[in-house]
Amino acid sequence: MARSRTVAVYAGEELGRYGFEDHPFGEDRIHAFWDEMHIRQLDYQVRIFSPAVATEDQLRLFHTPDYVEKVRIFSESGDGLLDYGDTPAYKGVFEDASVVVGTVIDAVRKIMGNETRRAFVPIAGLHHSMPDTAAGFCVFNDVGVAIKLIQQEYGLERIAYVDIDAHHGDGLFYPFESDPTVIFADIHEDGRYNFPQSGFPHEVGKGPAKGRKLNIPLLPLSADDDFLMMWDKIEGFVRQWEPQFIFMNCGADGLDGDPLAHLHYTARAHARAARGLCQIAEEFAEGRILGVGGGGYDLRNVGKAWVAVIDAFLETPMRADG
């Protein structure tokens, strides 16, 4: 399989529409990514796929019917807040958020159908949204829906979700806290100092999932060396469960200078994480890994971090039988 056929990236103005006016999560983040892709001449080395739209039935795999209907109503009026203050409604937000979810679902289907082995959706990874509410700029939880779909349609029993965004992925942790099929690992800024005030080391899962969740909080000002020292623990944790599919939230807000976090990574952290997860995917998951952009509110950092992931996806060797 040619290199350009094994890594796919999603592009299209429909995907870039998800964002808020005069808000940290703006519509310009996707342009920062593609500008950096062009500068690095990586846009010609990947396969480009177009966005897709989720159905309401798909949204309800993770979200409650009442919440889906609430978003629809608020989207029609364009007024109000979908949470307690961070996530405003705007006209068309229902459709735009449905594109984010549908695109991640499309990526899952293409990976499971062997059309690609590694894929990246830049505007995705809305990891704070809960089944019944928005939170932290996140309307619908794309990976949450995708995990439910994989469980129901493909019957996988070991799905890994690894999150390196500066903010804890609470919208994936708590809804799947008792689900033993979801292997969860998250390294983030300590919740005592940043939103969403969760993700502490004692949170390791409940019931049949106890021990299948790993939370690693880092103190403010932590840099690459701190991240890399803990990353080996994450790799070992994920590898022991032999995942059949890997999601990677590639949030760029851990890079030095982000206005909504206090970490001092460089893109070296993202490159190392992506390379390690690709290796685990090759070993246990037939190469199946899906990266989602997550957060990141300094545009230069968004480009650098996400492109470091793409570069690692391209450069990490693939098994010859793929």
Q: Is the pTM of this model over 0.95?
A: yes
Domain assignment present for residue 69? The answer is: yes
Percent of the chain with pLDDT over 90: 94
Domain assignment present for residue 212? The answer is: yes
Query: What CATH number is given to the structural domain containing 155?
Result: 3.40.800.20
Residue 3 in this model has a pLDDT that exceeds 60: no
- Provide the domain limits for residue 270: 3-315
Higher-confidence residue of 124 and 1: namely 124
The region of weakest confidence among 4-18, 140-154, 206-220, 224-238 is: 4-18
Domain assignment present for residue 286? The answer is: yes
Domain count, the chain: 1
Give per-residue pLDDT as tens, 130-153: 999 999 999 999 999 999 999 999
Give per-residue pLDDT as tens, 4-56: 458 999 999 999 999 998 898 988 999 999 999 999 999 999 999 999 999 99
Domain assignment present for residue 71? The answer is: yes
Which pLDDT does position 11 carry in this prediction? 97
Give per-residue pLDDT as tens, 53-80: 999 999 999 999 999 999 999 999 999 9
Write down the residue that tokens 């290199």 correspond to.
3
Domain assignment present for residue 322? The answer is: no
Domain assignment present for residue 320? The answer is: no
Residue 270 in this model has a pLDDT that exceeds 50: yes
> Confidence class of residue 319 from pLDDT cuts 50, 70 and 90?
confident
